[in-house]
Structure 1
Amino acid sequence: MQGKKAEEGTKNAKKVNLFDHNSLKHMLDESVSEIVTSRGYVEDARMSNVRLFIGTLISYTNEKNAIISTYPPAGSVTSTGLVVSSKLPRFSDLYTLNIKSGDPRSISAGKPVEFSKSVTQWFTKDGVLVEGLFWKDVEALIDDYLGEPKKKK
C-alpha cells in the first residue's frame, strides 16, 4: 500500500520551470483552488465565465488578482463565501496569498488575512511543487481567516 501511494506521489508530482515566473504563479494558484474546494467550498464559476466573456483587461479593475471566488460551505449560516487572491511580483520570489469575504458588508464576514512567503519553500531544485508544505500553509491561512485555533504539531 505504501509503495503504491509513493508511486502515485511521484507520478502526479506537479513540476514547473523555476525560471518561468508565470508558470510558478499559475501552479501555486491552481493548487490554492484545489485546497479551498477540498475544504467544502464550491467554486462559483459565474465569475470565471464572466471573466472569459468580458476579458481580463476589463474585469481586472473588479477582481484585483482573484484566483477563486466561492459560495459559503453547504449548510453554513454563519459564513460568507471566500475571495482568494494572490500576487507574485515580477523579479521577486515572494508569493502573497490573500483571503477575504465574498461579501465584505455581511455581519459574518471575517477580517481579511494574508501571508507572503518565498516560493523556494514549496519547490524542489528540480521545480517540483512540494504539495504537502504548500497545502499546510494555505490551510493554516484558511483556518486563520475562520478564526480556528492553531493545530499543535
Structure 2
Amino acid sequence: MADKKPEPATKNPKKANLLDHHSIKHILDETVSEIVSSRGYVEDVRLSNVRLLLGTVIIVIALFAQFYKKKFPENRDFLISCIVLYIVFNGLLQLIIYTKEKNAILFTYPPAGSFTSTGLEVSSKLPRFSDIYTLTIASADPKSISANPPVELTKSVTKWFTKDGVLVEGIFWKDVEALVDEYSKEPKKRK
C-alpha cells in the first residue's frame, strides 16, 4: 500500500454538536469509513443486505396482517400466525444484530492484491456522558489463519474537535491510518 491517498480538503468542515454524543460518534464513524475505504478496503454489505431483507419481510407480514380482506372475528387464526411470524423474524433480526454486528460500523473485503484472506471489522464505542472514543480494528473472520490480532485506539474526542465542534480531520486521519497500519503489519515470528 505504497500509494496513500491524500487527506480530503476540508472545504466543508464536519461539524458536530458537542453536547450530543450521537452526533460526535456519527461524524467520527463516518470519517473512519472514509479513511478505511481510501486505504483500498471495499465495504462488505452482505450483512446489511440480510438485515434489510429481514426488515422487508417483517414489514410485509405487518402489512398482510393490517390489510387482510376479512374482519377480526373471521381472521383470528391468520392474525395469530402473522403475529408469530412477526416475532420470529424480529427475533432473528435482533439475534443477527446482537451476535454478528455488535458495535461494528464497517465490514470489509480484503484489499485487492493482498495475501490475507480476511477483511476488516471496524467497531467503535463512545459511551454516554463520556468523551472517550474507542476504535477497534479486527479481522472479519477471527478464526482465519491469516487473521491478525485486534488493535485498538482509545482517545478523548477533545483531541479531534475544536471548541466549536469542527472535526480536525488531519489529526484524526493520522490516528486512524496509524491504527490501520498497526493492524496490517506482519506479526513478528517467534524463534
TM-score by length of 2: 0.69
Greater alpha carbon shift after TM alignment, 85-94 vs 43-52: 43-52
Q: How far does the alpha carbon of each residue in 1:115-136 deviate from its partner, in whole angstroms, 9 at most, with x for none?
A: 1100000001110001111110
Structure 2, unaligned runs of 5 or more: 1-8, 56-92, 187-191
Q: How far does the alpha carbon of each residue in 1:34-70 deviate from its partner, in whole angstroms, 9 at most, with x for none?
A: 0000000000122222334446744331211000000
Listed as ranges, the matches of 1:20-99 within 5 Å are: 20-54=20-54, 57-61=94-98, 62-99=100-137
Q: CA deviation at 1:80?
A: 1.6
State the partner residue of 1:141.
179
Q: CA deviation at 1:12?
A: 1.5
Q: 1:46 to 1:128 in 2, by over 3 A?
A: same
Q: 1:85 to 1:54 in 2, by over 3 A?
A: farther
In 1: Cα distance, 2:162 partner to 2:53 partner: 37
State the partner residue of 1:102.
140
State the partner residue of 1:3.
none
Match 2:160 to one of 112, 122, 130: 122
8 Å CA contact 1:73–1:79 kept in 2: the answer is no
Query: Which segments of structure 1 move beyond 3 Å, counting only runs of 4 or more?
Result: 51-59
Q: 1:143 to 1:79 in 2, by over 3 A?
A: farther
State the partner residue of 2:16.
16
TM-score by length of 1: 0.85
In 1: Cα distance, 2:174 partner to 2:182 partner: 12
Give the number of aligned pairs.
140
Q: How far does the alpha carbon of each residue in 1:76-118 deviate from its partner, in whole angstroms, 9 at most, with x for none?
A: 2235200000000011000000010011111110000101100
RMSD: 1.6
Structure 1, unaligned runs of 5 or more: 1-7, 149-153
Question: Could you tell me the percent identity over the aligned residues?
Answer: 71
